[in-house]
Homo-oligomer: A and B are copies of this chain.
Amino acid sequence: MFDLKEYLQKKRSIINNALQSIVYRKVSDTRLKSSVSYSLFGQGKRLRPILCIASYNAVSSDDHRAVLPIACALECVHTYSLIHDDLPALDDDALRRGNPTCHVQFDEATAILTGDALLTLAFEIVSDESMGASSAQDLRNYLQVIKILSEAAGCRGMIEGQARDLAFEGVKLNEQELQQMHDLKTGAMIRACVQSGAILGNAQNAEFENLTLYAAKIGLAFQVTDDILNVTGDPERLGKNTGTDAIRGKNTYPGLLGLENAMTYAQSLIGQALRALKNFDDRAKPLRAIAGYIIERSR
């Protein structure tokens, strides 16, 4: 019986240690070090870096050593995106992971620079790590990871999703438009996490395709669940305010499908994610368990 809770705790602790050592080595300015640490070491679930490691483990029998820095880079990009999204000019959120957001705790200028620093740091981490590689295949793997990461975070990925999200406040979307927006805003980065792990683990083409499909399904399920939690969740347990989507006139799955149907939809997406892994052996156990965990958050 696979113990997901223990797996997540172990990986979180490994990731936190690695991130701490990166920040210690890479950030010298005292205020930046403190704002970067504050933002990275909140109550993050570390879902994205864990997905990267779990994906690597699904195709490789090595432990996590080779993939850990890449997983940390992905968490840096995720954290940067939260800091900038929370800014007054964007979502203007005061609470994140149970704590004041970066611009509230520090100031706006520091929050902008902290986000910039974390985004840049991600690419520094990956390129640093690549310096130890010698074979053309390994070097190409790192470049592929950088390509995947920059595309997913970039203006045909997360940033386009964010731009659409802002543009669409108060505009009624149909299901296809909503799905496209989420696919860009959160889906692209979740896919990049799973794909990066697969690439470093030298996944074969069919494995890579199936892992990509898995990622697309759980990415969407994650967003549907997030929308549900914004209606039904407990702000204290979630560490962020709820009911905010309705106030801002955001397009959400419960708003579009109704709460009941949104829950059924999330459930069916998880089923599809699991089917994408049907040809994988027991090394995909963590990925399978994480799929379930993604919607269980909402119960």
Chain A interfacial positions (CB closer than 8 Å to B): 26-29, 31-32, 36, 84, 87, 89-90, 107-110, 112-113, 115-117, 119-121, 123-124, 126-128, 130-131, 134-136, 139-140, 142-144, 146-147, 149-151, 153-156, 159-160, 162-164, 166-167
How far, in angstroms, from A36 to B149 measured CA to CA in the complex?
20
Q: Which of B29, B110, B159 contacts A164 (CB 8 A)?
A: B29
A87: chain B residues at CB < 8 Å are 109, 112
In the complex the two chains form, is B108's CB within 8 Å of A89's CB? yes
In the complex the two chains form, is A124's CB within 8 Å of B154's CB? yes
In the complex the two chains form, is A120's CB within 8 Å of B90's CB? no
How far, in angstroms, from A131 to B127 measured CA to CA in the complex?
15
A131: chain B residues at CB < 8 Å are 143, 147
In the complex the two chains form, is B167's CB within 8 Å of A151's CB? no
* Chain A interface, >50% SS class: helix
In the complex the two chains form, is A117's CB within 8 Å of B29's CB? no
How far, in angstroms, from A123 to B164 measured CA to CA in the complex?
22
In the complex the two chains form, is B109's CB within 8 Å of A89's CB? yes
In the complex the two chains form, is A124's CB within 8 Å of B150's CB? yes
Greatest chain B CB density within 10 A among A142, A155, A164, A166 is at A155
How far, in angstroms, from A107 to B90 measured CA to CA in the complex?
10
In the complex the two chains form, is B109's CB within 8 Å of A90's CB? yes
A173 vs chain B, min Cβ distance (A): 15
A149: chain B residues at CB < 8 Å are 123
The residue of chain B having its C-beta at the shortest distance from the C-beta of A153 within the complex is: B120
Given A130-B143, A139-B139, A155-B36, A113 contacting B162 (CB threshold 8 A): yes
In the complex the two chains form, is B112's CB within 8 Å of A90's CB? yes
A119: chain B residues at CB < 8 Å are 116, 119-120
How far, in angstroms, from A150 to B142 measured CA to CA in the complex?
15
A158 vs chain B, min Cβ distance (A): 8
How far, in angstroms, from A124 to B146 measured CA to CA in the complex?
7
In the complex the two chains form, is B26's CB within 8 Å of A120's CB? no
How far, in angstroms, from A159 to B121 measured CA to CA in the complex?
11
The residue of chain B having its C-beta at the shortest distance from the C-beta of A88 within the complex is: B108
Given A28-B156, A90-B109, A84 contacting B163 (CB threshold 8 A): no
How far, in angstroms, from A31 to B103 measured CA to CA in the complex?
26
A74 vs chain B, min Cβ distance (A): 14
How far, in angstroms, from A280 to B194 measured CA to CA in the complex?
48
Given A124-B154, A134-B136, A139-B136, A116 contacting B159 (CB threshold 8 A): yes
- Given A26-B156, A113-B163: 9 more A-B contacts, CB < 8 Å: A26-B154, A29-B164, A89-B108, A90-B113, A119-B120, A120-B153, A120-B155, A124-B147, A139-B140
